[in-house]
Amino acid sequence: MPRPRPAPDAAERLQKYLAQRGLGSRRLIEEWIRAQRISVNGKIAELGQKVTTHDEIRLDGRPIKTRAAAGAQVFIFNRSPGDPLQTVDGARAARDADAARAPLIDRLPKNAGRRFVAVSPMPGIDGGLELVTSDGALAEKLQRASHRLACEFSVRIKAQLGPDQLAGVQSGKLDRPTRMQVDSVSTSEADLEGSNRWYAVIARGASGKDVRQLFERQGVLVSRILRVSMGAVKLDKSLSRGQFRQLEADEVNSLLKPASEFAGR
């Protein structure tokens, strides 16, 4: 009796196939395809083309190793302000003072993936909680979900906000028509640091850049912003500056929940 043949690999769209294997986000890979940087079996790839593990895929003429990731891994970093999270690209390296520092992502285990995507990263001058994953498709889902998550930021300014300035921050008004949804702004005497004062801000879908703009619109000097939490995922004392840990599956699911709830409406 003849032995049954193994089922053929399911074909997937090229951008999805590479994103799931940590080559980058789908959007970035689509840009590579449009720029004719990717070839499949010796021919220039087309957007939407389907591939399997048997196809030879090259980027700029170099073979791409497309070993499937062992699992969707997401890591949380506690980044110090100024420390690079990812490698600075060549166009910026010459003028970036931090380019000589080893990026934090280099500390991740080699079996976690080859390339990592940061989810809603903080500006380089700021720091705190950062999320990265080698799964490009998961990174896109987390990015969409982050726009609906309540995030907490610690903001250090060289002043104390007056009533009108505080109202201005709470209004969420930015330099563009969209307003940030600010849930709360608070400070206390314990938050005094010399001539500086720390404010705790909880806002939804807020980026570090937006939070800085929110305070600078009130005419104050912002010296530092640290992201403390994203949804239910928080920095705690067990994670020192520069350290990382892998998120548990339930933590990842809690980050994705807002997006799934929105999609189900």
136-146 vs 249-263: helix axis angle to the nearest 10? 60
Give 80-94 pLDDT, tens digit per residue.
Answer: 998 998 865 443 443
Name residues of the chain where pLDDT drops below 70: 1-9, 20-24, 65-72, 87-100, 111-114, 258-265
pLDDT at 263: 45
pLDDT at 92: 42
Give 198-245 pLDDT, tens digit per residue.
Answer: 999 999 988 999 999 999 999 999 999 999 999 999 998 888 899 999
pLDDT at 181: 93
pLDDT at 232: 92
Q: What is the CA radius of gyration of the chain?
A: 22
Residue 184, SS3 per DSSP? strand
Residue 116 buriedness (CB in 10 A; 0-12 / 13-18 / 19+) = buried
pLDDT at 96: 45
pLDDT at 129: 97
Q: Which residues contact 146 (CB under 8 A, 6 or more apart)?
A: 119, 120, 205, 230, 255
pLDDT at 100: 52
**Domains of the chain: residue spans and CATH:** 12-63 (3.10.290.10), 74-147+241-263 (3.30.70.580), 150-230 (3.30.2350.10)
pLDDT at 44: 93
pTM across the whole model:
0.69
pLDDT at 99: 46
First to last CA, the chain: 53
pLDDT at 1: 42
pLDDT at 6: 39
26-34 vs 136-146: helix axis angle to the nearest 10? 120
Cα torsion angle, 102, 245, 71, 264, sign: negative
